Chain A
């Protein structure tokens, strides 16, 4: 059974960066995409980008290009999402999710528990 366990809640100042981790266990890590999806308070779901660990490149939503970096460490089966230049609108619950299919174009069958990132001065 695949499990995704995320790092704990963060409180950050505007203009700073945050890095959230997502530790995978069970199943194959390298060949399935791990995506990051965020949800602002009371709002819907927003896909930010993803990575297929066995490849070196990531796939980002245009909205977050230049501000988000998604990486993966195959040796520890952990994916990371770093978001920079934080602003109050980035306050949200951030989820990692595994693609059910082999490539980026996929629905998501396993999800982390979510990491709350609060941006406040």
Chain B
């Protein structure tokens, strides 16, 4: 199975900050990577697919980059609604695995 490792596990930031979350795969997944936002008790919401393509309706302050084994999610200017947990997911091969999550907290 492909292991997905996110860092950091927790990130404290303020409204207006630029933040970056990293996701590393245990082997190359080319660009088959997605990013999700999840709020407590709710289903995940797809933000980015194929490493860098913004899902329809997602604000442009979210962006993704990377290929192979290293990927990043960047939020250019944090808004109050962005404080949540973020997950990466690889869909290069089954089983489709997720990172352990990054909890973005208000500083």
Interface, chain A (partner B; CB < 8 A): 35, 44-47, 59, 61-63, 93, 95, 97, 100, 104-109, 111-114
Contact = CB atoms under 8 A, between A and B. Distances in A.
A45 B44 contact: yes
Contacts of A113: 43
Given A35-B96, A44-B87, A107 B44 contact: no
Nearest to A99: B91
A46 B43 contact: no
30 contacts: A35-B96, A44-B99, A44-B101, A45-B38, A45-B44, A45-B89, A47-B95, A47-B98, A59-B94, A61-B95, A62-B95, A63-B95, A93-B41, A97-B44, A100-B46, A105-B91, A105-B93, A106-B91, A106-B96, A107-B34, A107-B46, A107-B89, A108-B46, A108-B89, A109-B55, A111-B44, A113-B43, A114-B41, A114-B42, A114-B43
B91 A107 contact: yes
Given A44-B99, A45-B87, A45-B89, A61 B43 contact: no
B97 interface: yes
A106 to B, nearest CB: 5
Contacts of B49: 100, 107, 109
Contact of A104 (B94, B98, B99): B94
A39 B91 CA distance: 18
Contact of B97 (A47, A105, A112, A114): A47
A112 B43 contact: yes
A101 B8 CA distance: 29
Listed residue (A45, A63, A111, A112) with the most chain B CB atoms within 10 angstroms of its CB: A45
